[in-house]
């Protein structure tokens, strides 16, 4: 941790003074908070945070260090990182380094030593807002910085995080071939499929659906990812093609939203989103409540789902928002939360098993 002073400047003019961690400099992004007590390395490498500055509400971060096994993608995607206290003496048998070193290697500008509880309350009361982390020299031009903060928007999100060319991972004794569309996928989605006997081919987000269908996958997986789903016009149009096929489709987070939009539903930006590992969700078909991990700022509006096309399958018990849709064509279902993220730790892993069953049923026809 550096002794250099650093500042957080919010769009409403609020200023927090703390200390610099990671790289020093200036970064602008959308300020969000995550309530998870652990999993900070997974958060830092989750592409869904592209364009955002992440605040951890848990007061001590970095106490078990970092390691190469817990990353969820090829790099860190956050625009900045804020913690109350950064532990500079991590202790864990899997530890391969400290948080500050990780942030520096990933070129992430961070801030520690501020009142993150106060910051979280501001976001909860006023909604997600833009802000900037900057050092002393950057803060001297406060008015210029405020102008940049007000004009900041997240653009071309999935195009910025998706892979350039397809990648194939084979399972031992693989029984099914799954096409995974990379809108910003987490590695554990692929691992969860491979563990269940799936050979997984990861495709760039905007791969032609005809190309994918031509390779005759047993199932199609739609990943999580960043940005406003309604702006992903090309991806939405592509998903209309998959909806008309008979290939089983399973969508997570952004994939859930995009498939809903492709089928005529609408999405809305939430006041401050759902980001954490303790969100209660009820599965209406099983009449059971599961603890889920979530990371999203948009939600599908229940009243816009055509009852002839699909129905709500899961509901968030905190605010009643849509957490899952089951489609009436019999081969598509999606969830807003992350079943691969082990929140329960295995509460919602059954969804991957349902996807496998759907592929198995189709292969027997």
Mean pLDDT along residues 222-249 = 96
C-alpha to C-alpha distance for 271 and 336, rounded to whole angstroms: 16
The string of pLDDT tens digits covering residues 279-337 is 999 999 999 999 999 999 999 999 999 999 999 999 999 999 999 999 998 899 999 99
Q: Taking 70 as the threshold, does the pLDDT of residue 233 lie above it?
A: yes
Q: Where are the alpha helices (DSSP H) in 45-133?
A: 99-105, 116-126
Alpha carbons within 13 angstroms on the beta-carbon side of residue 100 total: 15
C-alpha to C-alpha distance for 85 and 17, rounded to whole angstroms: 13
- Would you call 217 helix, strand, or coil by DSSP? coil
Residue listed under structure tokens 């554990």: 188
Q: What is the pTM of this model?
A: 0.96
Q: Taking 70 as the threshold, does the pLDDT of residue 365 lie above it?
A: no
**8 Å CB contact between 254 and 154:** no
Domain residue spans of the chain: 5-154, 158-363
The string of pLDDT tens digits covering residues 150-207 is 999 999 999 999 999 999 999 998 999 999 999 999 999 999 999 999 999 999 999 9
CATH topology of domain 158-363: Rossmann fold (3.40.50)
Region 5-154: CATH code: 3.50.30.20
C-alpha to C-alpha distance for 337 and 347, rounded to whole angstroms: 12
Identify the burial level of 91 via C-beta atoms within 10 angstroms of its C-beta, where 0-12 means exposed, 13-18 middle and 19 or more buried: exposed
The string of pLDDT tens digits covering residues 74-99 is 999 999 999 999 999 999 999 999 99
C-alpha to C-alpha distance for 73 and 215, rounded to whole angstroms: 25
Q: Taking 90 as the threshold, does the pLDDT of residue 249 lie above it?
A: yes
pLDDT band at 348 (very low <50, low <70, confident <90, very high): confident
For residue 61, list its beta bridge partners.
86
**Rounded to the nearest 10 degrees, what angle do helices 254-262 and 233-243 cross at?**
70
**8 Å CB contact between 295 and 338:** yes
The token pair at 323 is 């957490």
> For residue 46, which of 258, 284, 243, 296 has the smallest C-alpha distance?
296
Give me the pLDDT at residue 137, please: 77
- Would you call 109 helix, strand, or coil by DSSP? strand
Where in the sequence numbering do the catalytic residues fall? Answer: 253, 338, 340
């Amino acid at each position: 941790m550096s002794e250099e002073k650093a500042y957080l400047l919010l769009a409403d003019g609020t200023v927090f003074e703390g200390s610099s961690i990671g790289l020093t400099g200036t970064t602008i992004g959308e300020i969000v908070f995550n309530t998870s007590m652990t999993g900070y390395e997974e958060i830092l490498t989750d592409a869904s945070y592209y364009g955002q500055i992440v605040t951890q509400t848990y007061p001590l971060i970095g106490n078990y260090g970092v390691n190469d096994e817990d990353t969820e993608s090829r790099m860190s995607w956050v625009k900045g990182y804020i913690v109350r206290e950064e532990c500079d003496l991590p202790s864990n048998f899997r530890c391969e380094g400290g948080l500050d070193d990780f942030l520096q290697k990933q070129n992430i500008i961070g801030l520690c030593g501020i009142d993150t509880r106060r910051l979280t309350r501001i976001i909860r009361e006023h909604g997600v807002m833009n802000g900037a982390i900057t050092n002393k020299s950057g803060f001297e031009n406060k008015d210029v910085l405020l102008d940049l903060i007000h004009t900041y928007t997240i653009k071309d999100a999935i195009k910025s995080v998706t892979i350039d060319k397809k990648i194939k991972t084979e399972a031992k004794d693989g029984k099914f071939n799954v096409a995974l569309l990379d809108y910003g996928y987490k590695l554990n989605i692929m691992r969860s499929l491979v563990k269940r006997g799936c050979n997984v081919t990861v495709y760039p987000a905007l791969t032609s659906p005809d190309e994918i269908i031509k390779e005759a996958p047993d199932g199609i997986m739609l990943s999580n990812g960043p940005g406003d789903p309604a702006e992903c016009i090309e991806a939405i149009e592509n998903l209309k093609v998959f909806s008309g096929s008979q290939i089983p489709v399973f969508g997570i987070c952004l994939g859930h939203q995009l498939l809903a939009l492709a089928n005529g539903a609408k999405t809305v930006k939430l006041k401050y989103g759902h980001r954490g590992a303790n969100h209660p969700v009820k599965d209406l078909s099983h009449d059971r409540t599961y603890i889920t991990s979530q990371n999203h700022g948009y939600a599908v509006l229940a009243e816009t789902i055509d009852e002839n096309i699909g129905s709500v399958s899961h509901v968030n018990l905190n605010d009643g928002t849509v957490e899952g849709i089951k489609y009436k064509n019999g081969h598509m279902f999606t969830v807003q939360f992350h079943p691969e993220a082990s929140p329960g730790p295995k509460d919602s892993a059954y969804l991957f098993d349902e996807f496998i069953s759907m592929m198995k049923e189709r292969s027997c026809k």
